Structure 1
């Protein structure tokens, strides 16, 4: 793959690096009260646009085929929104005894509270040849569920900025998340054929808006001289994130392939990716709402910014191995079915 092709493929990751560097160079542009007025443009318009775009692009009409696989859905949602945050919370009890930056550790907890993404888990499941319908269902359903569950988990594990009352948080969540998402779905009902025909770049639009949110978040950080990021803590967080991802992928694999689990090899593939992946697109706006005015918001956001490319990188590396396993397992199942009793 040529350099230009690689840049096109990884433009969002490159964009994250560039906007953080830009925020470092010119923090006054995106700071609260600055020219961009992020307290209005980002807090309301940008976040609303992301969720309207999500509602417009979510193909909920295609989920009926996967709807009846209740056991799989229950496992995925329970793992990602119950087991994952609890396990990380227990891990942080130990890590809090180390010298790792405490705000980065809190950021790990925020990662654990996030719903599954609407894209990467589906893409990787499809790349392997797994149960794509189940992956689509759990990504979409998890996104809807995350609107309610994720803010509650964040408030439960981390609390909130003392300057923002809970009622205001949920009012803003409703107005900037729920309402745009529902409106997007309503509009999709009227524009479905047009949207399918034109193949609009929903993902690119959300990613561009997300870069704006990341930029303004880090502008606030770099304009505050009291906040510093230790390189050693950052390196340890990267190692911990990869370790968590790999461990949880192995755990979901072991559980879904155990005797009597009732999951097919294709189901296992969907479970592995959907249970361990976390949404950056939904996560950053939610953090922006729940922790509005929090001076350490950007540090809390760092683990999520790392987790996103890490899950794609790790998943992509493992795709060939998982595909080989699934193919061999499916052949073994077919052969056993053909053998006379």
Structure 2
């Protein structure tokens, strides 16, 4: 049995431990000076490669099929880019007297990010939901996020008195994320089969790029004295805020899915795609949108939320998957021989 399997059986996830390890390493051995500039360029191209692989991997027909389920896609969009920002704005406003401005910005920023791609699809699959619709919803969310996240962030932060961003930030994000994705789609006839055969390649680049970003961001934070600015009370408030945010959205998406009469498989897509926020998109965007600011403080709420959402969604996906398997077994047993 592999180390990853043993850790999962013990209730741990190897990737989450690696994320914590990147933070610890940055705390003990922060990169700075010329080395930090080199790492920044490595991170840039790693993220571009990641979204190229996303584009090359994604079957265009899956997007077309998923788009036909317009009601589900509209609900996922509403959860990601309407409900989340509203709840996030309310929470950040309520907690602003007790939190540093950078962390308040971080809560707002978290709320306007697109959904995850890999984990949303994976959890939908584990729970036996509508995987093609999940592929479509997560992919569209990330593509729209390239444009919507900077605009929404500027509007929300302007409302909260923290200023906004210029058009150049959106262009930079498009060049780093959207352009490689489009090139990947165009190159799909040439490299698509190779990437499908080597699925771990995308996973290694995905997780590796995030680990590099985390290490880079927290190294900069250590140089700026981040941990001297976050006490246990602030950390507790951030964790509580993330839990409340996730709980409100997950309860809301579950309720809306039932009220609107979605099939079970589609309700799972709404639950997992509509309640997740992307670390893979969020960290590189933050490096662009908040250049010159304490990025490590701003992304702290996102880092914490990412780990909470993975744990909670993993538990729910496993439970829903077992229920579906039991229902299938009962149906098979009830059928006459």
- Aligned residue in 2 for 1:48: 48
Task: Pick the aligned partner of 1:22 from 21, 25, 29.
Answer: 25
Contact 1:43 1:289 in 2 (8 A): no
Asked if 2 retains the 8 angstrom alpha-carbon contact of 1:125 and 1:131, the reply is: yes
Cα separation, 2, equivalents of 1:324 and 1:40: 43
Q: 1:315 aligns with which of 306, 313, 316?
A: 313
Aligned to 1:241: 242
SS at match of 2:277: coil
Q: What per-residue deviation string (whole Å, max 9, x for no partner) do you get for residues 316-338 of structure 1?
A: 2223544577689999xx9xxxx
Superposition TM-score, scaled by structure 1 size: 0.85
Alpha-carbon offset, residue 106 of structure 1:
2.1
CA-based RMSD of the aligned residues comes to 2.9
Quote the residue 2:134 is aligned against: 135
User: Does the Cα contact within 8 Å between 1:213 and 1:285 map onto a contact in 2?
Assistant: yes
- Count of aligned positions: 324
Deviates more, 1:271-280 or 1:83-92: 83-92
* Of 272-281 and 310-319, the range deviating more from structure 2: 310-319
Quick one: distance in 1 between partners of 2:319 and 2:107?
28
Gaps of 5+ in 2: 332-337
| 1:7 Cα deviation after fit | 4.7
Q: Deviations over 1:52-102 (max 9, x none)?
A: 2322333333233322110110111111012211221022221223x2344
Tell me how far 1:167 sits from its aligned partner: 3.7
1:163 touches 1:293 (CA, 8 Å); kept in 2? no
Give the Cα separation in 2 of the matches to 1:277 and 1:4. Answer: 23
**What is the CA–CA distance in structure 2 between the aligned matches of 1:55 and 1:19, rounded to whole Å?**
27
5+ long unaligned stretches in structure 1:
335-341
Corresponding position: 1:69 with 2:69:
yes
- Cα pair distance change 1:147/1:108, threshold 3 Å: same
The 3 A distance-change label for structure 1 pair 17 and 241 is: same
Q: Is the 8 A contact 2:85 2:112 kept in 1?
A: yes
Alignment of 1:1-341 (within 5 A): 5-7=5-7, 10-27=13-30, 29=31, 31=32, 33-38=33-38, 41-42=41-42, 44-97=44-97, 99-158=98-157, 166-225=166-225, 228-258=229-259, 261-294=260-293, 296-323=294-321
Runs of 4+ in structure 1 off by over 6 angstroms are: 162-165, 324-331
Greater CA drift, 139-148 or 230-239: 230-239
Which string of whole-angstrom CA distances, capped at 9 and with x for unpartnered residues, describes residues 170-201 of structure 1? 33223212221211221223222232234342
Q: Do the aligned residues in 2 keep the contact of 1:85 with 1:109 (CA within 8 Å)?
A: yes
